[in-house]
Amino acid sequence: MQKVKLIDLGLKDYKETWEYQETLFQDTINIKINNRRNNLINETSNYFLFVEHPHVYTLGKSGDISNLLLNEEQLSQKGATFYKINRGGDITYHGPGQIVGYPIIDLDNFFTDIHKYLRFLEEVIIKTLAEYNLKSERSEGETGVWLDVGTPFARKICALGVRTSRWVTMHGFALNVNTNLGYFDNIIPCGIKGKAVTSLEAELGEKVDLEEVKEKILKHFTELFEVEFLN
């Protein structure tokens, strides 16, 4: 069982969190580089960050800025910020009521397969939603977790976007729980036109306890990745 340090940051500014991720990410990479250069076997650490962000839009490195439908003044009026960042994927929104998970793990400790890693993250969310009697699934060619795939009512409930270097991961997933979905109206989410976005609250008709959802996510992450969480 690999050990993973669990860190719940609460409500935290996106840029501060990004910089914190980068520090953990680079520290892990530096250990691996030093091991290789000096024929050492120092262990790398694995981390899992939970966080909620104030209103923010982030654009991945392959994203199209035209998918942000607000100018700077309108962003300010919405109380939102915007960042171009170094994950895969296009544009997405983060805000209060959304559970964001950032696993910063060394895949050399697990399996060296990015595709499998993304599918496992999706599966964690699919299994979590099943506990709320929601049948969610993957949509071919569209990373993330969806409801009613293949119908005119397809809607995304969880976005995924990661960055990896030397098999170390950062960024992760964003699950809409009690999220204000109106903020998605200001973007073309993930650059996919004509597809709706939803949340646990919207699907169940009531607010959902965030801590309860986090516990379910950790349970399924533990099972799939065969890890032990340390606080």
**Domains annotated on the chain, with CATH:** 2-230 (3.30.930.10)
Asked if residue 161 belongs to a known ligand binding site, the reply is yes
Asked if residue 93 belongs to a known ligand binding site, the reply is yes
Does the annotation mark 190 as catalytic? yes
DSSP 3-state of 195: coil
Q: Per-residue pLDDT averaged across 210-216, rounded?
A: 98
Measured at the CA of 96, the angle between CA 95 and CA 100, to 5 degrees, comes to: 70
What predicted TM-score, i.e. pTM, was given to this entire model? 0.95
Residue 145 phi, psi (nearest 5): -125, 135
Phi-psi map region of 195: left, alpha, beta (phi>0 left; psi -120 to 50 alpha): beta
Asked if residue 91 belongs to a known ligand binding site, the reply is yes
Residue 194 has pLDDT above 70, yes or no: no
Catalytic residue among 59, 104, 190, 210: 190
Burial of 9 (0-12, 13-18, 19+ CB in 10 A): middle
Asked if residue 68 belongs to a known ligand binding site, the reply is no
At residue 88 the predicted structure's pLDDT band, cuts being 50, 70 and 90, is confident
